[in-house]
Structure 1
Amino acid sequence: GIHAGEIDGKDAGFLALREVLEGKAAQGALDKLVLVFVPVFNVDGHERFGPWNRPNQRGPVEMGWRTTAQNYNLNRDYLKADSPEMQAMLGLVQAWNPLAVVDLHATDGAQFEHDISIQVEPVHAGDPALREAGRAWRDGVIADLEKQGSLPLPFYPSFVVSDDPSSGFADGVAPPRFSTGYFWLRNRLAMLVETHSWREYPHRVRITRNTVVSVLERLAANGRAWQRLAREADARAGAPDGAPQPLAFTAGPEARLIDFRGYAYTRTPSEISGALMTRYDETTPQVWRIPLRDDVQPSVTVAAPAAGYIVPAEHAAFVGAKLRLHGVQFREIANGGKRDVEVFRAETTRLSAGSVEGHQTLAVTGDWARETRHIPAGSLYVPLRQPGARLVMAMLEPKAPDSLLAWGEFNNAFERKEYMEDYVAEDVARKMLAEDPALAAAFARRLQYDPAFAADPQARLEFFYRRHSSWDERFRLYPVMRTDVAP
């Protein structure tokens, strides 16, 4: 019910639980584990009930709506946690600290015979020992489903090129706005279940029920050992000691060919849209020989600070509230003063063209550099020596895909507020050229070797403004700092 139009999991969950409680399925599982079932996560969307709310799937006749009453997509909200629903869910997670989380969906996409996909993390990301547990869990559930006649997949079946089966698939690790991209940061297991939207609703409910039963059986059998691995992963995560930490992942360019059970299809121009459209013949099954890129590797890696992060006092209330939602440990710095820290100054910034979940997102380039800065009393110290160290980096590293910076929470820091009028800059430039021969030589070289700069009057004036004492040294300075020593 996180997407209330994809409501297979609610009906399947109740069906599975009734059978488990009656002793007809997963016998003895509930003697070994605690199951917390949330049948309807997106309550507002669930109550926005009607036909055709989900036109991309076959049934049920009526269903809920994808987003909340505030139009939040909850499966983009795990890390930023804007919505009251997600904040409540994170409270539930804090209360129970589950070993494993299962997120039940129905996918969109092309027409093919495979009826369900099972994705788990950690598999490509996270603690190495937990990756082995994640792989065993995924493969075990897939094996159970295959025995029951399903055709499960271990990856999300979305074509590399939309609507083109020949382009194949690319595996990956979802960013932490998604459930499976979030829980591995907490050193816990997460499974994304996606039934195939072209299967009729009763079939989708049945295979989701089978998945829930298999999940319970596998966790009952292995949960104690996997719980130990999770605790050990907590201890390892809290000692990064400056080691490189991956923040984002991508599938490498190498592909292998797989046999994929699809249908015969044609690709012809549509007289309606004018676009090239794929049309499938469900009466003619066909095995496609198509590429799969599943060598998933880190695409963004950052060395962790030796100690942790410092959030300045002016941002402490907002950032502290976000950290509390995720159970991240931090403390207030009582005594202000100068400290040697690392700061991040953006070299380039790129804002999203439109709104994304109510935010204007931001991408930056740049690097950390050492400086001495004044740290005011009331600032926050967020140590990395805690189980949620990966989660801290995902929130506070500026290049992390779902960091607070990436979601636009610090956009003000990257907006120029003060300026120098051109007529002032002209006089300032002449004075600086006359007083500083090295600066004059640098300006001459830039004019000679950078034609774009030479042809841009504003760039030429800014050359001097940036070197003048009136320049705002905080422009493009990310407010959060890193430290190698606990304050």
Structure 2
Amino acid sequence: MQDPTLTTLAEQSGFARTGRTDEVTRLCAAFTQAWPKVVHTLEFGRSAEGRPMRALIACRADPRQVPLLMLQGGIHPGESDGKDAGFIALRELLGETASPGVLERIAILFVPAFNVDGHERFGRWNRPNQNGPEEMGWRTTAQNLNLNRDYTKADAPEMRSLLGLLRTWDPLVCADLHVTDGADFQPDISLQVEPVNQGDAQLCAAGRELRDALIAKVARSGSMPLPFYPDLATPDDPSSGFQLTVYSPRFSTGYFPQRNRFTVLVETHSWKDYATRVRVTRNTIVALAELLAAHGEAWREQALRADRAAARLAGAEVVLDYDSHWREPAANRTDAGQAGGTELIDFKGYAYTRAPSAISGEPVTVYDPKTPQVWRVPLRDRVTPSLSVRAPLGGYVVPCAWAQDIGARLALHGIACEPVRERSEAVRVEAFHASGVEFTAAPFEGRMRVKLAGGWARETHDIAAGALFVPIAQPAARLVMHLLEPQAPDSFAAWGFFNACFEQKEYLEPY
């Protein structure tokens, strides 16, 4: 009989409900007490409202000597599948009712409720398009920041704490556990793995191995997994088909490839009931653990090789953006990138019609889940680079006035920097000049974003003591470029860190 102190409220309620943060605290303590030599609880930070952020590390060996799988639950707390499934999967792996021996070969780092403040903003209508549980948390933090847009700029204290966890533990694979909205169809989960479409070419090959093996394992467990996020090309129009998204590093799915590590975007389907979604997420976690136990050492060698290759990127062309970028749900359709080519696929959906909404009166798509139907629709899956930049031969120089702020942000990412000790005169450099500046019409994630036109020009400049030199010769070279290339979509410049530079301060009187 299952120990009730190790079970979730979701299980106890027949998956009608999910627990609050006090359950996370209780379960972390109970797991540590039940397996004191194997499980340890970490408090790795505090939220904006002062709540403790907790994680579990589980391993029967030295966790620093084996491949590490990170399970990130609750970045969007309304999508609580990952929290409950993570506790269930970890309990079964520890009790060896699932995959005996796995935790002797890998370590698991489990963050049940990353966005802990949003988790406590419980409500019945926080996710009105989602089929259970009865109540759930809120998408954003207490500061109204979406943590899955904050990986690069790291404005939220929660993200800064998580980046500290990454610096300490350096997970080989991060599984970011979500629930998607959208059309109603038969597949119950999507699994998008990176690097596959971006990053180190050889690591992309290993990413494809991981993706294909994971898809096969999850399918054998009874699911119908998709290898891409099922984002309709035109909202609420199934006939428009789907578009593959290549995520920029503001997202977990785009961030980890820049660190030469793997990530899996796990998205269960919000139309499925909560019990089904938790079960499918649990199966995915166990499948990932088994794959890492079998292949993790080889994949870790590939990741370390990619680290060494990244440190030699000087002078190479590096892709920093793609045509097929993410479109925010509230954005204009013209803001969406378009993939460079399409293929027609047979997609297992349901019969549907258009009918007036009972709420708005506007036409909406109405699905009939009792009538399976194969949709012949386009999949826009050709990845086309839209921005490539030559990596600097030496590195980047951040002027003295900005060095403290930018240096602190770079340190959060574990990026090596060197303060300039002495003034140097007439140094031959390349300087970026903006020929055009376009600001967003409204703030996004707490910032006024900016799009720059312009380019680099060879010039002579004096470099003051106190400036910051960021060498390109380091494993995080790709991430360095994403942060410091002014035209990269998630650079510090694009996020408005230098917006004061574009303000007129002095003027002439009319006389």
TM-score, normalised to structure 1's length? Answer: 0.85
The equivalent residue for 1:311 is: 398
Deviation at 1:171, TM superposition (A): 0.7
In structure 2, how many angstroms separate the alpha carbons of the residues matched to 1:310 and 1:274? Answer: 57
Match of 1:35 in 2: 108
Residue 268 of structure 1, CA deviation:
4.4
Correspondence for 1:243: 316
1:359 maps to a residue whose letter is: R
Select which of 494, 498, 505 maps to 1:406.
Answer: 494
| Cα drift, residue 317 of structure 1 | 0.7
Counterpart in 1 of 2:380?
Answer: 293
Q: Are 1:102 and 2:175 counterparts?
A: yes
Letter in 2 for 1:67: T
Residues in 2 aligned to 1:212 and 1:53: alpha-carbon distance in whole angstroms: 26
Structure 1 position 363, deviation (Å): 0.4
Instruction: Say which is worse superposed, 251-260 or 67-76, in terms of deviation.
Output: 251-260
1:55 paired to 2:110: no
Equivalence for 1:464: none
Equivalent residue, structure 2, for 1:164: 237
State the match for 1:361 in structure 2: 449
User: 1:71-110, aligned counterparts within 5 Å?
Assistant: 71-110=144-183
Show the counterpart of 2:477: 389
Q: Is 1:258 the equivalent of 2:345?
A: yes
Q: Deviation of residue 420 (structure 1)?
A: 4.2
State the 1:176 CA deviation.
Answer: 0.7
Distance (Å, rounded) in 2 between the aligned partners of 1:26 and 1:414? 57
Secondary structure of the corresponding residue to residue 233 of structure 2: coil
- Equivalent residue for 1:342, pick from 430, 441, 445: 430
Moved more, 252-261 or 206-215: 252-261
What is the match of residue 68 of structure 2? Answer: none
Query: Is 2:154 the counterpart of 1:67?
Result: no
CA distance in 2, matches of 1:419, 1:300: 36
Percent identity of equivalent pairs: 57
Provide the rounded CA distance (Å) in 2 between the counterparts of 1:255 and 1:46. Answer: 39
Deviates more, 1:179-188 or 1:25-34: 25-34
Asked whether 1:5 is paired with 2:78, we answer yes
Q: Is contact 1:26–1:214 with CA below 8 Å preserved after alignment?
A: no
C-alpha spacing 1:272/1:206, structure 2 compared with 1 (3 Å): closer
Q: Does structure 1 residue 375 correspond to structure 2 residue 491?
A: no
Paired amino acid for 2:375: W
Q: How many residues align?
A: 423
How far the C-alpha of 1:340 sits from its partner, in A, is: 1.3
- Per the TM alignment, residue 253 of structure 1 is displaced from its structure 2 partner at its CA by 3.1
CA contact (8 A) 2:218 2:284 kept: yes
1:22 aligns with 2:95: yes
Q: CA deviation at 1:33?
A: 1.1
SS of structure 2 residue aligned to 1:220: helix
Do the aligned partners of 1:120 and 1:135 also contact (CA within 8 Å) in 2? yes
Deviation at 1:341, TM superposition (A): 1.1
1: CA distance, partners of 2:500 / 2:441? 17
- The partner residue of 2:227 within 138, 154, 161 is 154
Given that 1:316 and 1:378 are in contact with CA atoms closer than 8 Å, whether structure 2 keeps it comes out as: yes
Partner of 1:115: 188
Amino acid at match of 2:461: R
Aligned residue for 1:324?
411
* Structure that is richer in helix per residue: 1
1:456 aligned residue: none
Cα pair 1:124 1:297 within 8 Å, conserved: no
Shift in Å, 1:240: 1.2
SS of residue in 2 equivalent to 1:134: helix
Q: Quick one: which of 272, 286, 304 aligns to 1:213?
A: 286
Give the counterpart letter for 1:330 in structure 2: C
Aligned-partner residue type, residue 244 of structure 1: E
The DSSP-based 3-state class of the residue aligned with 2:111 is coil
Q: Could you tell me the TM-score, scaled by structure 2's length?
A: 0.81
| Amino acid paired to 2:459 | E
Q: CA deviation at 1:355?
A: 0.9
| Residue in 1 that maps onto 2:44 | none
Contact 2:340 2:381 in 1 (8 A): no
The DSSP-based 3-state class of the residue aligned with 1:36 is strand
| Match status 1:415 vs 2:503 | yes
Is the Cα contact below 8 Å between 1:122 and 1:134 reproduced in 2?
A: yes
1:204 to 277, 286, 289: 277
Per mean C-alpha deviation after superposition, the further-off stretch among 237-246 and 247-256 is 247-256
Q: Note the C-alpha offset of 1:264.
A: 0.9
Amino acid at match of 1:418: E
CA distance in 1, matches of 2:367, 2:508: 62
Give the equivalent residue in structure 2 for 1:282.
Answer: 369
* Secondary structure, counterpart of 1:37 in structure 2: strand
Q: Determine the structure 2 residue equivalent to 1:136.
A: 209
Larger radius of gyration: 1
Residues 274, 348 of structure 1: CA spacing in aligned structure 2 closer, same or farther, 3 A cutoff?
farther
Following the alignment from structure 1 to structure 2, what is the Cα–Cα distance between the partners of residues 421 and 245? 47
Correspondence for 2:4: none
**How far off is 1:276 after superposition?**
3.6
Q: Is the 8 A contact 1:168 1:292 kept in 2?
A: yes
Cα displacement (A) at 1:119: 0.5
Q: What is the DSSP-based 3-state SS (H/G/I as helix, E as strand, rest coil) of the residue aligned with 1:393?
A: helix
Describe the superposition over 1:415-440 as per-residue Cα deviations: whole angstroms up to 9, x where unpaired: 222334566xxxxxxxxxxxxxxxxx
Structure 1 residue 149: Cα displacement: 1.7
Matched residue, 2:51: none
Deviating more after overlay: 385-394 vs 367-376: 367-376
Structure 2 SS opposite 1:51: coil
Deviations 1:139-180 (A, max 9, x none): 111111111221110111011111111111111211111101
Distance in 2 between residues matched to 1:272 and 1:150, nearest whole Å: 33
Q: For the aligned residues, what is the CA RMSD?
A: 1.3
Long gaps (5+) in structure 2 = 1-73, 325-338
Q: Name the residue aligned to 1:178.
A: 251
Q: Equivalent residue for 2:43?
A: none
The runs of at least 4 consecutive aligned structure 1 residues that moved more than 3 Å come to 268-276, 419-423
Partner of 2:47: none
Contact 1:124/1:172 (8 A) holds in 2: no
Amino acid of the residue matched to residue 288 of structure 2?
V
For 1:8, give the aligned amino acid. Answer: D
Q: In structure 2, how many angstroms separate the alpha carbons of the residues matched to 1:34 and 1:262?
A: 38
1:246 is paired with a residue whose SS is strand
2-structure distance, mates of 1:301, 1:421 = 44
- The residue type paired with residue 286 of structure 2 is V
Query: What amino acid is the match of 1:317?
Result: Q
Rounded to whole Å, the distance in 1 between the matches of 2:401 and 2:121 is 40
